[in-house]
């Protein structure tokens, strides 16, 4: 399906029970099992919620990834991705990243032993020189917030893979309409959906999309374990946006 057709279909469904064509807001924390050892596929909304599932599948489709994850804010999405790393790991991150991303790396993840080198992501030599034996990922925003600096995702992803690192791209400012980092080789895409993905300035939300199953499972685990999920009302608002 063409990208614009995909966008036009986001959130449209045919609810089997009622025929509703707008995704219903399943405002339920818990789901009853039909019987012992049986499940509708939903148990508890931190793990999965039917409205969130529609949104997560839609964003995965738009970014051309294997799975999407909806978080309660862009910073919850950034944190969720960073939590797949461990003490002793090192990250190479664009120096002109969103201030909140800088803050959480500098003031929170640093306390847990994850170190960061900030680089000019438009300078491939500087990025390559920052990689150490402990580096696990290169995280860029392109364009950056606030200076709108541009990075070459294709080249950065190639460099990352050459060193067996993840390439993570914060795609908040372009959205998958203008740029699909996974198609350029990135492994993970992050959004502050609060901005252009929702587009109405009425919902705070974050999105992560993974290209491959192994990373998707790590993020699914963190999302459920830490619990900063997007509520069903906000999922509906983002689907509408
Ligand atoms: C590029 C970028 N990433 C992440 C965030 C954090 O998103 P949120 O404000 O939804 O937590 C922002 C917020 O402005 C941003 O601009």
pLDDT value at residue 21: 92
Q: Is residue 34 part of a domain?
A: no
Q: Is residue 83 part of a domain?
A: yes
Q: Is residue 147 part of a domain?
A: yes
Q: Is residue 7 part of a domain?
A: yes
Provide the domain limits for residue 120. 3-28+43-240
Report the separation in Å between the CA atom of 75 and the middle of ligand 1, taken as the mean of its atom positions.
6
Q: Is residue 38 part of a domain?
A: no
Task: Please report the DSSP string for 118-160 in residue order.
Answer: EE-TT-HHHHHHH--TTEEEEEEESS-TTT-----HHHHHHHH
Q: List per-residue pLDDT tens for the chain, 241 residues long.
A: 899 999 999 988 888 889 999 999 999 999 999 999 899 999 999 999 999 999 999 999 999 999 999 999 999 999 999 999 999 999 999 999 999 999 999 999 999 999 999 999 999 999 999 999 999 999 999 999 889 999 999 999 999 999 999 999 999 999 999 999 999 999 999 999 999 999 999 999 999 999 999 999 999 999 999 999 999 999 999 999 9
Q: Is residue 220 part of a domain?
A: yes
161: part of which helix (H) or strand (E)? Answer: helix 153-162
Of 147, 91, 85, the closest CA to residue 122 belongs to: 147
Report the separation in Å between the CA atom of 152 and the middle of ligand 1, taken as the mean of its atom positions.
21
pLDDT value at residue 32: 95
Active site residues: 46, 98, 170, 195
170: part of which helix (H) or strand (E)? Answer: strand 166-170
pLDDT value at residue 13: 82
Q: Quick check: CB of 100 below 6 Å from ligand 1?
A: yes
Question: How far apart (Å, rounded) are the C-alpha atoms in residues 128 and 177?
Answer: 29
CATH number of the domain enclosing 98? 3.40.640.10
Question: How many domains does one find in the chain?
Answer: 1
Q: Is residue 132 part of a domain?
A: yes
The end-to-end CA distance of the chain, in Å, is 20
């Amino acid at each position: 399906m063409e990208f614009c057709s995909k966008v036009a279909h986001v959130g449209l469904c045919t609810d089997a029970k009622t025929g509703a064509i707008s995704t219903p807001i399943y405002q339920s924390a818990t789901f009853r099992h039909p019987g012992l050892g049986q499940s509708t596929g939903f148990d508890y909304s931190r793990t999965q919620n039917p409205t969130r599932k529609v949104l997560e599948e839609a964003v995965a489709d738009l970014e051309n990834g294997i799975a999407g994850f909806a978080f309660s804010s862009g910073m919850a999405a950034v944190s969720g991705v960073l939590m797949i790393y461990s003490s002793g790991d090192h990250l190479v991150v664009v120096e002109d990243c969103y201030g909140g991303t800088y803050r959480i790396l500098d003031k929170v993840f640093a306390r847990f032993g994850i170190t960061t080198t900030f680089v000019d992501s438009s300078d491939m030599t500087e990025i390559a020189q920052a990689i150490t034996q402990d580096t696990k990922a290169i995280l860029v925003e392109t364009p950056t917030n606030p200076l709108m600096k541009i990075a070459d995702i294709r080249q950065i992803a190639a460099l990352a893979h050459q060193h067996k690192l993840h390439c993570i791209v914060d795609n908040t400012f372009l959205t998958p309409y203008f740029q699909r980092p996974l198609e350029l080789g990135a492994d993970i895409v992050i959004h502050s959906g609060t901005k252009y993905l929702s587009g109405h300035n009425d919902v705070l939300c974050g999105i992560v999309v993974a290209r491959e199953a192994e990373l998707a499972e790590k993020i699914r685990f963190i999302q459920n374990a830490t619990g900063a999920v997007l509520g069903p009302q906000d999922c509906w608002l983002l689907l509408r946006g």
